[in-house]
């Protein structure tokens, strides 16, 4: 193909992003070429800023521009409830419904030995330090309902059990809102039965 | 949401790209934060380079880093055949099969009055200059088979007809390779009938 070198290079960068194939990358670059110079400079600057400015919260491990994230600094939140998540991104999803007023702790992944992610690579030490201080009354396990998520849950449950007085819970399993019984999978239906609640 | 400012800004930039919604933009930014600093600097540099270095070929209007693009400079190509396309990006697709050895001319869009794209905004003047030189023997219309594409074809056909000795053709319409008759739409089937070829 006869594309200019600088265009090919940018297409390659976009094609490295998750979920973006070579065809989509091409389309994005052709779109960008048509845009205003200021927008492209802003975009480029923003990529550099995000790497230079974003660090991890010392308390919970989520991405933050300061030493402590806004959630850990928020005194109005319930610091005795800690919600364990795999990635910073999960916090964005869990915060949207506004159903949880505690704090978070980011593991940085899920146990997955086939991909070389063993428990020692997760952010567990600082969790234990937090538990050792004795302020935490409940840990909510909010990992994805997958094999890796369940493996991580089992492992963490054992660790948390070492600290008496800490209740361990996990997010409810069942039918998602708006679901159709006819199309629900067997595991979801089994979970909906076993976790049924009195009305 | 409690996302750091620099993260929010970059998410907004990604969400401006075509086909990328806020959720995908979020996922891309969280992916980038985890990447190596060099990769991010390279990515950012590459966005700036693409704008600073890429210009339009003086001959055909396609994107190029030089005054003339590689295709227009290529003496082994047949300069008497000109394929008219709406956008530079279309050339990338048309070059892949290697079925056309002529040169291209980029209009920069299709006639679409409802979006303010009238014929005078297209790159037609330089096409007429090319035709006036008398070297062109055939113009292939390669616009998308849409209402805008057909409108542009009709308009261009009238202009090209002013130059005697120039044959005007358009890309064949019919069944795409691997298609299933059962699922082909009526217009495609009608085109396949009217354009049937002797075997």
Q: Does B80 touch chain A (CB under 8 A)?
A: no
pLDDT confidence of residue A1: 55
Fold adopted by B5-53 = Helicase, Ruva Protein; domain 3 (1.10.8)
pLDDT confidence of residue B167: 93
pLDDT confidence of residue B39: 94
- Predicted confidence band of residue A177 (pLDDT cuts 50, 70, 90): confident
Q: Cα separations (Å) of B68 from A4, A33, B71, B73, B194?
A: 11, 18, 8, 7, 40
A96/B1 touch (CB, cutoff 8 Å), yes or no: yes
Q: Where are the alpha helices (DSSP H) in A16-172?
A: 22-33, 37-53, 70-73, 88-95, 125-132, 147-160
Mean pLDDT of B126-140: 93
Averaged confidence pLDDT in chain B: 91
Q: What is the pLDDT of residues A66-111, one digit of tens each?
A: 999 999 999 999 999 999 999 998 998 898 888 899 999 999 999 9
Q: Residue B122: name the closest of B85, B96, B91 by CA.
A: B85
Share of residues in chain A with pLDDT > 70 (%): 99
Provide the CA B92 distance to its chain's centre, in angstroms. 8
Does ipTM exceed 0.90? no
Mean pLDDT of A139-165: 92
A92/B40 touch (CB, cutoff 8 Å), yes or no: no
B183 CA: distance to closest CA in chain A (Å): 25
Query: What ranges do the domains of chain B cover?
Result: 5-53, 68-170
Mean pLDDT of A11-40: 94
Q: What is the pLDDT of residues B106-120, one digit of tens each?
A: 999 999 989 888 888
pLDDT confidence of residue A86: 94
Give the tokens for residue B196.
Answer: 């049937």
pLDDT confidence of residue B179: 83
Q: Which residue has the higher pLDDT, B20 or B196?
A: B20
B9/A49 touch (CB, cutoff 8 Å), yes or no: yes
CATH 3.40.1360.10 fits B68-170, yes or no: yes
Mutate which of A1, A5, A9, A10 to test chain B, going by most B C-beta atoms within 10 A? A10
Q: What is the pLDDT of residues B141-161, one digit of tens each?
A: 999 988 999 999 999 999 999
Task: Report chain A residues whose CB lies below 8 A from the CB of B94.
Answer: none
Q: What is the pLDDT of residues B161-176, one digit of tens each?
A: 999 999 999 988 888 8
Q: Does B115 touch chain A (CB under 8 A)?
A: no
pLDDT confidence of residue A20: 95
Res A198 pLDDT > 90: no
Res B132 pLDDT > 90: yes
Distance CA(B169)–CA(B142), nearest Å, equals: 9
pLDDT confidence of residue B195: 85
B50/A44 touch (CB, cutoff 8 Å), yes or no: no
Res B81 pLDDT > 70: yes
**Phi (first) and psi of residue B94, to 5 degrees:** -70, -25
A199 CA: distance to closest CA in chain B (Å): 33
pLDDT confidence of residue B1: 56
Task: Report chain B residues whose CB lies below 8 A from the CB of A53.
Answer: 4, 6
Averaged confidence pLDDT in chain A: 91
Report helix, strand and coil shares of chain A as percent, to nearest 5: 45, 15, 40
Res A2 pLDDT > 80: no
Task: Report chain B residues whose CB lies below 8 A from the CB of A1.
Answer: 92, 95-96
pLDDT confidence of residue B43: 95
Distance CA(A152)–CA(A156), nearest Å, equals: 6
Q: Is A63 left (phi over 0), alpha (psi -120 to 50) or beta?
A: beta
pLDDT confidence of residue B97: 85
Contact present, A56 and A108 (Cβ < 8 Å) = no
Task: Report chain A residues whose CB lies below 8 A from the CB of B53.
Answer: 4, 6
Contact present, A82 and A140 (Cβ < 8 Å) = yes
A-B contacts at Cβ under 8 angstroms:
150
Fold adopted by A73-170 = Dna Topoisomerase Vi A Subunit; Chain: A, domain 2 (3.40.1360)
Q: Does B51 touch chain A (CB under 8 A)?
A: yes
pLDDT confidence of residue A152: 94
Res B2 pLDDT > 80: no
Share of residues in chain A with pLDDT > 90 (%): 68
B95/A2 touch (CB, cutoff 8 Å), yes or no: yes
Q: Does B67 touch chain A (CB under 8 A)?
A: no
pLDDT confidence of residue A43: 95
A51/B33 touch (CB, cutoff 8 Å), yes or no: yes
């Amino acid at each position: 193909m006869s594309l200019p070198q600088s265009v090919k290079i940018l297409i390659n960068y976009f094609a490295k992003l998750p979920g973006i194939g070579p065809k989509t990358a091409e389309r994005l670059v052709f779109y960008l070429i048509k845009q205003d110079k200021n927008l492209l400079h802003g975009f480029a600057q923003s990529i550099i800023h995000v790497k230079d400015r974003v660090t991890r919260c010392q308390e919970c491990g989520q991405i933050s521009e300061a030493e402590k994230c806004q959630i850990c600094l928020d005194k109005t939140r319930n610091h005795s409830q800690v919600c364990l998540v795999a990635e910073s991104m999960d916090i964005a999803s869990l915060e949207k419904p506004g159903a949880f007023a505690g704090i978070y702790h980011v593991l940085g992944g899920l146990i997955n030995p086939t991909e070389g992610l063993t428990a020692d690579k997760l952010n567990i030490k600082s969790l234990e330090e937090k538990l050792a201080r004795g302020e935490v009354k409940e840990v909510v396990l909010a990992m994805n309902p997958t094999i890796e998520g369940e493996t991580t849950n089992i492992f963490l449950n054992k660790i948390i059990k070492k600290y008496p007085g800490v209740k361990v819970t996990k997010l409810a399993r069942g039918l998602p809102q708006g679901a159709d019984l006819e199309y629900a999978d067997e595991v979801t239906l089994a979970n909906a039965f076993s976790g049924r609640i009195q009305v």
